[in-house]
Structure 1
Amino acid sequence: MKIIEIERALAHLSRNDKVLSTLIKNNGICNLPTHKKYFIALLRAIIGQQLSLKAADSINRKFLAYFDNSPDPDSILSAKDETLRSLGLSKAKVKYVKDLALKVKEGEVKLKNFSKKRDEEIIEELTKVKGVGVWTAQMFLIFTLGRPDVLPVDDLGIRKAIMLNYGLKNLPSGEEIKRLAKKNGWSPFSTIASLYLWKSLDTNFETILK
C-alpha cells in the first residue's frame, strides 16, 4: 500500500479504537508491500500451512531452489512425488501444490487478472484448489495483493491478540471479532488493524507470504 493510504488508515483506526491507537503509537508505521508473483505466493502459502515460520521458510527455500526460484505449473506437474517429498513436503502438500499447478494450467484458476477482482471472487476461486481454505485465501489477499479490508476472524494469532489486548477471558469467536470490528470502526481498514494485532504478539508477519 502507498504510504498515504497507510497514514489514512492509521488516522482512521486511531480515531475509532483506543486499543489500536496505543498499538500504532508503540509500533510506528507498519507497511504492507505487495508483489505480483501470485503463483509462487500460493505455493509458499500451501507449503507453510501448519508449520512454524522458521520451518516453512526452510522448506520453501529448498522447494524454490529446486525449481531455480521460478516454479511454473508444468515443472511442478512433471516433478516426481518422491522428489517433492524429499524437499520437505508432506504427501498431502504434494497433492495440493500439484492440484494448484493443474488448475492454473487448465485455466480453472486464472491468476492473471486477480488484481481486478473483488476479495470475495478471489476467495471463491482460490478455494477451488485442494488444501486452500478461506484463511489461506485471506492471507493471499493481505500479503500478496495488499487488500485493505480483510478480517481473518479464524486466525489464531488474531483471536489471541484480541483476547489479550481487549481484556477478554477467552479466545473470541469469529462472530465476536466481527462485532468488535464493527463497534470500533475498523472497516475499511481491517487489514491494517490485523497487522497491528499480529505485531502485538511479536509475530513476524512480513515473512508469511513473502
Structure 2
Amino acid sequence: MIAETYLASNDAIMASIIETTPMFKKVDWNHDVYLALLESIVSQQISVKAADSIFTRFRALFDDAYPHPESLLSKTAEELRSAGLSLQKIKYLQNVALFAIENGIDYEKLQKLTDEEIVRYLIPIKGVGRWTVEMLLMFVMDRPDVFPIDDLVIRQKMVRAYNLTETGRALYKELHVIAENWRPYRTMACHYLWRWKPEL
C-alpha cells in the first residue's frame, strides 16, 4: 500500500479516487512479453469479448496452443484467417514473430533496459505503437512509473476528475503537470483511473 499512500498524500483528488475505487486484479502473463504483444495486436480496435475469442482460436491453431515464432511464420494466411484475423493483423503478428527471431523479445533482455529504451526497441515493429509498448510495460513488465497519455480513457478520466477545460497541446501539458505529482507511481495512478467510475 506504499504507492497508494504516497499518491493520496500528494494529490487530494487522486486520494478520493483511490478511496472509492477497487484495486485492479492483475493478470499474470508470467513475463511473456512476446505472447502479450501478440495478444495486444489481436485486441486492437475490437471489443474485449471478440478479442478473447479470436485469440483463443488463434492459439488453438498450434500444437501446444503456443504460437512460437517459427510456427507462426509457417502458417498460411488462410490458416490464420480461419481464427478470425484480418490480413493486416496477420501481417502485424508475422512482423512480431520475425522480430522475435532476429532480435529477441524475451523478458530478461528487456528488463535490463529503461522504459524509454524498451519503447525505442519495440516500436520499429510495424503494427506496434508507443501505446502498445506502454501497456506491456504496465501489465507485463510491472514497470511502476508509466504514464500512457495517449490512452483515451486515461485522458477522459483525468479531464473529468480534475475539471479540465483545456484542449489540444494545452490539455496534454496540463495532464503531464498533474501526473508529475504521481511520480514514481504513475502506473498505479492510471490503474485506479481506469477502474474509477465518476458519479453522474
- Corresponding residue number in structure 1 for 2:140: 144
User: Do structure 1's residue 42 and structure 2's residue 40 form an aligned pair?
Assistant: no
User: Do structure 1's residue 96 and structure 2's residue 107 form an aligned pair?
Assistant: no
String of CA shifts for 1:155-203, please: whole Å, max 9, x gaps: 0010111111112246674322112212xx111000001001100149x
2:19 partner amino acid: K
Greater displacement, 27-36 / 143-152 = 27-36
What is the DSSP-based 3-state SS (H/G/I as helix, E as strand, rest coil) of the residue aligned with 2:60?
A: helix
Alpha-carbon distance change, 54 to 31 in structure 1, aligned in 2, over 3 angstroms: closer
Greater displacement, 27-36 / 115-124 = 27-36
Alpha-carbon distance change, 201 to 29 in structure 1, aligned in 2, over 3 angstroms: closer
Q: Tell me the number of residue pairs that the alignment of Structure 1 and Structure 2 aligns.
A: 193
With the length of structure 1 as denominator, give the TM-score of the two structures: 0.85
2:159 partner amino acid: M
- Corresponding residue number in structure 2 for 1:175: 173
- Corresponding residue number in structure 2 for 1:56: 51
- Corresponding residue number in structure 2 for 1:191: 187
Q: How many angstroms apart in 1 are the aligned matches of 2:109 and 2:12?
A: 38
Alpha-carbon distance change, 162 to 65 in structure 1, aligned in 2, over 3 angstroms: same
- Corresponding residue number in structure 1 for 2:110: 114
Unaligned runs of at least 5 residues, structure 2: none
2:118 partner amino acid: I
With the length of structure 2 as denominator, give the TM-score of the two structures: 0.89
What is the DSSP-based 3-state SS (H/G/I as helix, E as strand, rest coil) of the residue aligned with 2:7?
A: helix
Percent identity, aligned pairs only, is 39
Q: How many angstroms apart in 1 are the aligned matches of 2:94 and 2:195?
A: 33
Q: How many angstroms apart in 1 are the aligned matches of 2:128 and 2:13?
A: 32
Match of 2:12 among 7, 10, 18: 18
Q: For the aligned residues, what is the CA RMSD? A: 1.8
Q: How many angstroms apart in 2 are the aligned matches of 1:91 and 1:171?
A: 36
Structure 1 residue 32 displacement after superposition:
4.3
Unaligned runs of at least 5 residues, structure 1: 1-6, 203-210
Alpha-carbon distance change, 80 to 201 in structure 1, aligned in 2, over 3 angstroms: farther
Q: How many angstroms apart in 1 are the aligned matches of 2:173 and 2:38?
A: 30
Structure 1 residue 149 displacement after superposition:
0.2
Contact map agreement 1:158 1:197 (CA 8 A) in 2: yes
Contact map agreement 2:33 2:105 (CA 8 A) in 1: no
